[in-house]
Amino acid sequence: MRLKINISHLTLPEERQVDVLHNIIGNADRYFLQEGLREHNIPGRTRIYKLFGWSYSTIYSSTPDQWETERATRVDRQREAIREILRHSDFRDWVKKYMLLYNLDNALTMFSRAEVDLDGFDIRVEREVENG
């Protein structure tokens, strides 16, 4: 018997979804993002993936002013990339996967950091229907 997490009743405004997913991507390992982009067939996934990594070649090939500009605009570009991700996938799919790969307390922390109050929210653990 396998269990699954049902959060199909979770609804958040788009900007809160962006906040939470930004926290999740920033906290997860790189493979979480890479696999999710591939799984959902997100257009421009290579560009998006690179936005969330530190390219040391950028540091070494930039002037200090160029590097500061890059760093200053980074979060805005990441948030726009997350909006692109959400145009092509369901926010809840990303959250469920994070809850399954990491622990529930960690996932709740991602919501808390985004100032999303889940007090009283019903996270349902259900038996997964087996095919066959």
HSE value, Cβ hemisphere, 13 Å, CA-based, for 67: 11
* Residue 57 clears pLDDT 60, i.e. is over it: no
* Residue 40 clears pLDDT 60, i.e. is over it: yes
* pLDDT value of position 55: 59
Q: Give me the residue label for tokens 């067939």.
A: 41
HSE value, Cβ hemisphere, 13 Å, CA-based, for 27: 21
Any domain includes 100 = yes
Of 21-35, 59-73, 103-117, the one with minimum mean pLDDT is 59-73
> Could you tell me how far CA 103 lies from the centroid of its own chain?
15
* Residue 90 clears pLDDT 90, i.e. is over it: yes
Task: Please name the amino acid found at residue 98.
Answer: Y
Any domain includes 106 = yes
* pLDDT value of position 53: 79
* Residue 86 clears pLDDT 80, i.e. is over it: yes
* Residue 39 clears pLDDT 60, i.e. is over it: yes
Any domain includes 101 = yes
Total domains in the chain come to 1
- Please state, in angstroms and rounded to a whole number, the distance separating the CA atoms of residues 41 and 35: 10
User: Domain span at residue 116?
Assistant: 3-127
Q: What is the pLDDT of residues 41-52, one digit of tens each?
A: 999 999 999 888
The fraction of the chain above a pLDDT of 90, given in percent, is 52
Distances (CA, A) of 59 to 1, 33, 73: 49, 23, 15
Q: Which one is predicted more confidently, 50 or 57?
A: 50
Any domain includes 132 = no
| Dihedral sign, Cα of residue 110, residue 113, residue 114, residue 118 | positive
Any domain includes 89 = yes
Q: What is the pTM of this model?
A: 0.83
